[in-house]
Amino acid sequence: MSKRRIPIVPVSAAIAEAAGQPSLTPHPADGGAAPARRSAPAAPGGIEPLSPATAPGALLDRLGRPLRDLRISVTDRCNFRCTYCMPREQFGPDHEFMPHSELLSFEEISRVAALFVKLGVRSIRLTGGEPLLRRGVEKLVEMLAALRTPEGEPVEIAMTTNGSVLARKAAALKAAGLARVTVSLDALDDAVFRAMNDADWPVADVLAGIDAAAAAGLGPVKINMVVKRGTNDDQIVPMARHFRGSGHTLRFIEFMDVGATNGWRMDHVVPSTEVIRRIDAVFPLEPIGRDDPAAPAENWRYRDGAGEVGVISSVTRAFCADCTRARLATDGRVFHCLFASDGHDLRWPLRNGADDDQLTGMIAGAWWARADRYSQLRGEGGTRDGRVEMSFIGG
């Protein structure tokens, strides 16, 4: 019987550590000065918030990376059981998902998101689990779309979804203020797709969702394909062929060792160089680089003008040096890396009277203390156990 619950931890040890230990690596944004300054009163429960070390918009972590992107997991549930994310052996019928009362409410999410925006976030992506399974998620989109940066600009609100119910939701999401959607799709062949999602879900529903998203104005739609050798790598060229000329951008993601349950092995990884070589042999490509330095995908253009594909080389070519993403998990913990093993709890202070200054100080202090670079370390031969599951913090 599998009953896996993520324990709620007290507020980050890293924050307290950063506050109390001047021996930490001098912060680049602080000119090497003593790390943190306390100014806000202690939050309930002995939480020691920090003041942002820099002006809003210039907050940097210990590796000099700004805070720019926030991924919010709105549910730990999913109707798929993709073997690399929520394998059925671990997430079977008796798996205990979080009770609704433990999820952050839309009001709590919006409040935290507003503070992240104040600190530099310019792009918010809703994830899960499957975000469209959270009832009324359109309302949350609407609340987030109303956020404004300190300069008065709107924040881009995007969503990553498995697409299974997108056809029904696309128009309402657009009306609520969603800007773009990324759809996970690992195969075009129906049998391969049903096997990979392990829920017997037909590929036709996802393709209909992609069409509906494009028709609703949620494009250009990005399509993410996780490539696992021996499972769906024979789908690389058929997927490329299908989406060429569609206006959508297909991106190939190297199979990663996310969480602790997906049985990752290096020989399951199809390196991005091989993906590009296989497509190029049929549809010639040329490199065009990244959309921006912090974007995970490197883009390639079809030489005949039929659009672009992207590759996300999380394993073979780590891009941690430019990683500007924070993740707000379903239970209100903040993680600073997809491969993190521990987060900084914001739900407790949120529900116990912390004011915005205190919460801002906690978020800023935690980012200030961030040194995560898991993929880079993996590439150098180091790994670590205890990673939180991707369905909990979003992909």
360-to-37, 182, 342, 348, 349 alpha-carbon distances in Å:
13, 29, 19, 14, 11
The least distance separating ligand SF4 from the CB of residue 27, rounded to whole angstroms, comes to 17
Smaller CB separation from ligand SF4, 138 or 298: 298
Asked if residue 226 binds ligand SF4 (CB under 6 A), the reply is: no
Sign of CA dihedral 358, 359, 360, 364: positive
Residue 323 touches ligand SF4, criterion: CB under 6 A: yes
The region of 32-40, 131-139, 207-215, 334-342 touching ligand SF4 under the rule CB under 6 A is: 334-342
Residue written as token pair 């987030």: 144
84 annotated to a ligand binding site: yes
Closest distance to ligand SF4 from the beta carbon of 290 (Å): 13
Dist CA 67 CA 61 (whole Å)? 8
Binding residue for ligand SF4, selected from 48, 142, 372, 389, defined by CB under 6 A: 372
Shortest distance, CB of residue 270 to ligand SF4, whole angstroms?
18
Residues 67, 43 contacting (CB under 8 angstroms): no
* Least gap, CB of 370 to ligand SF4 (angstroms): 9
Stretch that binds ligand SF4, among 40-48, 233-241, 267-275, 320-328 (CB under 6 A): 320-328
Binding of ligand SF4 at residue 338 (CB under 6 A)? Answer: yes
Please give the structure tokens belonging to residue 390: 């991707």
- Residue 138 DSSP symbol: H
Q: Which amino acid is at 96?
A: E
Pairing of strands 298-302, 308-312: antiparallel
CB of 61 to ligand SF4, least distance (A): 10
Residue 122 in marked binding region:
no
CB 295 within 8 A of CB 355: no
Helix axes 203-216, 190-197, angle to 10 degrees: 90
* 337 labeled part of a ligand binding site: yes
- Restricted to residues 68-97, the positions that interact with ligand SF4 (CB under 6 A) are none
For binding to ligand SF4 (CB under 6 A), which residues are involved? Answer: 318-320, 323, 325, 337-339, 372-375
